[in-house]
């Protein structure tokens, strides 16, 4: 799935949910499902559509790509068995999703249900993470957000973690090892939102080292700006080859913004 699609999906999920207490999570989600092969080996494309669009304007469509290994009772080879009935089940800590239907022209088409796991909500509550409803838990299940991973982020010292940004942290692969790499480079542990921004813009430790080798000591905000405006080590070296030495990061960004290098 493209970065834009994944990020867009994350924003839709986060924007739609309402905050409720654990004892209110009793709703089982239902709708239609389609599962097909992805262009990537051992990956499946999953499309879920809520069934209540016409009744309460609560329609919600999700399309994503995930590993075939996340499902039981179903394998990519089943898509070649036209007319066969399949019960595909995805069990995650946040809940269980079932897609039951018939294979038609290499696509499993049927109905789905998602049953939230209240025990997961309780475990997350012990970690200080609250504010769940069934839709958010379904997204957690699809992206494999679990309590042990959440706890590992907290132990890494990341501030500002909540039920809303955890999904984005999972999608953009915020891991304790990444935080540790930043700390080894001398940065204070970033907040959850700052880490999401760093990962969205693909700020990598190796590129930070290369920028520093050119004599710069960028802040995390400057590193994000550099990625947005493509101020790469190669770009800096090209400017120096033109005799533009001692340019600050701010000046380099301005050169990019106003296309002064063209």
CA distances for 40 relative to 68, 109, 143, angstroms: 11, 20, 17
Residues 203 and 245 in one domain: yes
Model pLDDT for residues 69-82, shown as the tens digit of each residue: 999 999 999 999 99
Q: Identify the weakest region by mean pLDDT among 26-35, 110-119, 155-164, 226-235.
A: 26-35
Residues 142 and 180 in one domain: no
Residues 135 and 182 in one domain: no
Query: Does 153 have pLDDT greater than 60?
Result: yes
Residues 25 and 108 in one domain: yes
Residue 200 lies in a domain: yes
What is this structure's pTM? 0.85
Residues 18 and 139 in one domain: yes
Query: Does 15 have pLDDT greater than 80?
Result: no
Residues 130 and 240 in one domain: no
Model pLDDT for residues 157-215, shown as the tens digit of each residue: 999 999 999 999 999 999 999 999 999 999 999 999 999 999 999 999 999 999 999 99
| Rounded (10°) angle between helices 220-228 and 249-257 | 20
Quote the domain boundaries for residue 198: 176-257
Query: Does 57 have pLDDT greater than 90?
Result: no
End-to-end CA separation in angstroms for the chain = 34
Confidence at residue 9, expressed as pLDDT on a 0 to 100 scale: 47
Query: Does 8 have pLDDT greater than 60?
Result: no
Residue 62: pLDDT band by 50, 70, 90 thresholds? confident
Q: How many domains does the chain have?
A: 2
CA distances for 74 relative to 38, 69, 70, 110, 239, angstroms: 15, 9, 10, 13, 55
| Residue percentage of the chain with pLDDT more than 70 | 87
Average pLDDT value for residue range 141-157: 98
Confidence at residue 1, expressed as pLDDT on a 0 to 100 scale: 47
Residue 169 lies in a domain: no
Residues 109 and 192 in one domain: no
Residues 24 and 77 in one domain: yes
Output the CA torsion 86→92→97→103 (10° steps): -30
Residues 183 and 124 in one domain: no
Residues 188 and 229 in one domain: yes
């Amino acid at each position: 799935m493209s970065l834009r699609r994944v990020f867009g999906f994350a924003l839709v999920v986060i924007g739609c949910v309402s905050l409720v207490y654990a004892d209110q999570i009793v709703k089982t989600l239902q709708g239609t499902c389609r599962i097909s092969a992805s262009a990537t080996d051992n990956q499946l494309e999953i499309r879920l559509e809520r069934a209540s669009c016409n009744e309460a304007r609560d329609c919600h469509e999700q399309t994503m790509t995930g590993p075939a290994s996340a499902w039981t009772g179903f394998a990519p080879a089943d898509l070649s068995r036209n007319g066969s009935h399949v019960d595909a089940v995805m069990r995650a800590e946040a809940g269980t999703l079932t897609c039951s239907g018939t294979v038609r022209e290499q696509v499993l088409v049927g109905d789905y249900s998602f049953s939230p796991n209240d025990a997961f909500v309780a475990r997350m509550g012990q970690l200080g993470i609250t504010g769940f409803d069934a839709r958010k838990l379904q997204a957690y299940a699809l992206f494999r957000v679990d309590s042990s991973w959440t706890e590992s982020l907290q132990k890494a010292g990341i501030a500002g973690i909540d039920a809303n940004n955890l999904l984005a942290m999972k999608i953009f692969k915020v891991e304790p090892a990444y935080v540790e790499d930043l700390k080894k480079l001398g940065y204070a542990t970033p907040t959850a939102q700052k880490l999401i921004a760093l990962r969205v813009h693909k700020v990598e430790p190796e590129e930070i080292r290369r920028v520093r080798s050119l004599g710069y000591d960028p802040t995390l905000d400057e590193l994000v700006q550099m990625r947005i405006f493509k101020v790469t080590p190669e770009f800096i070296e090209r400017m120096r080859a033109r005799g533009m030495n001692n340019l600050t990061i701010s000046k380099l960004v301005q050169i990019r913004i106003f296309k002064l290098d063209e």
